[in-house]
């Protein structure tokens, strides 16, 4: 950890007997002190500080780096080997990292901070104040450092070059984050689970999953979000804005990522491949969900029953079964559905629309899933394999029915001890007890 103090030096650097660089400060000490310095510093400091206290030491020996500028002279780079030598304020801030003390709280969202200036910078995200205006375009920023970085886009200045690939960055911190993609380093560890991250900001966002904190609130409805980008996209649902248009079919999308995924339907590109079954996908998130078929992982747990799910959307839909909520209603017959996709499929029973056409024959279907299943007749694919024998099936439900021949007969007659694999077999059997003959011969 680096504690940054900016020091203006008015004295000439001098050398000690052993050749190390010494600097005498025009500062008020209780007693005359000298700093032993080396020539490996990295961080510039330019602020004059009065020191009236004894040096304060932290038990953790953390080097503090200074770069001291002298008037009309080249930069002299030095590393202070004494710890927290100048004043007590840096050690107080540093010690908060050990105690996890964060005394400054945001009165908008409850986030807490170690330093008051960090709180002030954060509060700008709520007020929307952007006092730093670019003089070359109409963009404005909440921080001067953001404006400085933005202005480099006009000048084309990307001074930080990766030594392992040809990428370059405006900021050194961006280069450091990028280089972790090469090294695989993930120094930011969550203290509530075993996940680790290469960037601290991603860890901060991840922690909100544990705390439930959603600082980005929509000003038109009561929804709130963990990520600011999700709020921006959500607000488009109020305005109807879809700024990203496909140049091949004119479809429009609210996210650029949605457009890129859609464009793969034109190119047929599927860059994400499963390393266990070699299926390929156009979207990485779909590959991640697919892998759970192999691992059996179900990370999304219902807090009202013991059911768990592979996808968050499935959990959200399941939770509606507890509340009875069906938010999607048909405007032609009044039927309501848990999922919007179910409503869309249902509405096609009214319109008779069948938009999914088979490329092998002239059949068309109202649902894409039906077309996928149908295509297996042409390809011969049978993805659902029985784990107790060598039979395989086109549809999952056929596999489930087959597996019952190995395991169970769940449909039991309440008149005798017979049991059946399928419910229709039980219904037909029960008629032998009741004498029911529902099918009448018509001449």
The string of pLDDT tens digits covering residues 317-365 is 888 889 888 889 999 999 999 888 889 999 999 999 998 999 999 999 9
CA count, 13 A, side-chain hemisphere, 165: 10
CA distances from 49 to 87, 89, 112, 184, 367 (A): 8, 11, 28, 40, 71
pLDDT over 70 for what percent of the chain? Answer: 76
Q: What is the pLDDT of residue 379?
A: 92
The DSSP-derived string for 275-305 is: TTT--EESSHHHHHHHHHHHH----EE-SSS
Q: What is the pLDDT of residue 100?
A: 57
Q: What is the per-residue pLDDT across 63-84, written as a single tens digit (0 to 9) for each? A: 333 333 333 333 433 333 333 3
Q: For 329-405, CATH number?
A: 3.30.160.60
- Are 258 and 245 in contact by the 8 Å Cβ rule? The answer is no
Going by DSSP bridges, is the β-strand pair 64-68/44-45 parallel, antiparallel, or unpaired? parallel
The pLDDT-based confidence of 194 (bands split at 50, 70, 90) is: confident
Give phi and psi for 277, each to the nearest 5. Answer: -125, -5
CA count, 13 A, side-chain hemisphere, 54: 1
- Are 338 and 326 in contact by the 8 Å Cβ rule? The answer is yes
Residue closest to 66 by CA, chosen among 93, 90, 50? 90
SS (H, E, C) 324-374: CCCCEECCCCCCEECCHHHHHHHHHHHHCCCCEECCCCCCEECCHHHHHHH
Residue 127 burial by CB count (10 A; 0-12/13-18/19+): exposed, middle or buried?
A: exposed
What count of other Cβ atoms lies within 10 Å of the Cβ of residue 194? 6
Residue ranges of alpha helices (H) inside 143-197 are 144-155, 172-183
pLDDT of residue 41 exceeding 60? no
- Are 274 and 280 in contact by the 8 Å Cβ rule? The answer is yes
- Are 194 and 205 in contact by the 8 Å Cβ rule? The answer is no
Domain boundaries, the chain: 14-99, 329-405
- Are 266 and 260 in contact by the 8 Å Cβ rule? The answer is no
The pLDDT-based confidence of 20 (bands split at 50, 70, 90) is: very low
Q: What is the pLDDT of residue 361?
A: 93
Cα 430 from Cα 436, distance rounded (Å) = 9
Q: What is the per-residue pLDDT across 123-175, written as a single tens digit (0 to 9) for each? A: 877 877 888 888 888 888 888 878 877 877 777 777 788 888 888 887 888 88
Average pLDDT along the chain: 76
Q: What is the pLDDT of residue 66?
A: 35
């Amino acid at each position: 950890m680096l504690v940054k103090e900016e020091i203006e030096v008015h004295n000439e650097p001098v050398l000690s007997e052993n050749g190390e660089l010494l600097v005498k400060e025009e500062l008020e000490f209780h007693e005359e002190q000298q700093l032993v310095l080396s020539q490996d510093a990295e961080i510039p400091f330019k602020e004059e500080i009065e020191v009236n206290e004894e040096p304060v030491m932290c038990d953790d020996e953390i080097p503090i780096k200074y770069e001291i500028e002298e008037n009309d002279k080249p930069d002299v780079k030095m590393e202070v080997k004494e710890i927290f030598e100048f004043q007590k304020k840096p050690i107080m801030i540093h010690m908060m990292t050990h105690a996890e003390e964060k005394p400054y709280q945001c009165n908008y969202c409850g986030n807490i901070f170690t330093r008051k200036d960090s709180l002030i910078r954060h509060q700008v995200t709520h007020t929307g104040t952007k006092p730093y205006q670019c003089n070359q375009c109409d963009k404005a920023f909440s921080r001067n450092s953001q404006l400085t970085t933005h202005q480099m886009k006009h000048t084309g200045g990307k001074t930080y070059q990766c030594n392992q690939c040809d990428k370059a960055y405006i900021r050194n911190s961006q280069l450091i984050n990028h280089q972790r993609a090469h090294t695989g380093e993930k120094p930011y560890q969550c203290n509530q689970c075993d996940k680790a991250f290469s960037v601290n900001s991603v860890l901060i966002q991840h922690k909100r999953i544990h705390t439930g904190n959603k600082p980005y609130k929509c000003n038109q409805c009561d929804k709130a979000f963990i990520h600011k980008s999700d709020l921006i996209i959500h607000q488009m649902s109020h305005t109807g804005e879809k700024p990203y248009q496909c140049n091949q079919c004119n479809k429009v999308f609210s996210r650029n990522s949605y457009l890129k995924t859609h464009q793969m339907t034109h190119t047929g590109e599927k860059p994400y491949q499963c390393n266990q079954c070699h299926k390929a996908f156009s979207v990485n998130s779909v590959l991640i969900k697919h892998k759970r078929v192999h691992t059996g992982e179900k990370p999304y747990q219902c807090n009202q029953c013991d059911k768990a799910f592979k996808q968050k959307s499935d959990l959200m839909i399941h939770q509606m079964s507890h509340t009875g909520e069906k938010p999607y209603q048909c405007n032609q017959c009044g039927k309501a559905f848990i999922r919007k996709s179910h409503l869309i499929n249902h509405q096609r029973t009214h319109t008779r629309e069948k938009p999914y056409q088979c490329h092998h024959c002239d059949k068309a279907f109202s649902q894409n899933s039906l077309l996928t299943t149908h295509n297996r007749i042409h390809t011969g694919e049978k993805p659902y394999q029985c784990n107790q024998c060598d039979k395989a099936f086109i549809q999952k439900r056929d596999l489930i029915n087959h597996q019952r021949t190995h395991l169970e007969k769940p449909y039991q007659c309440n008149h005798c001890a017979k049991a059946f694999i399928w419910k229709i077999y039980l219904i037909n059997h029960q008629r032998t007890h009741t004498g029911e003959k529902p099918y009448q011969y018509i001449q």
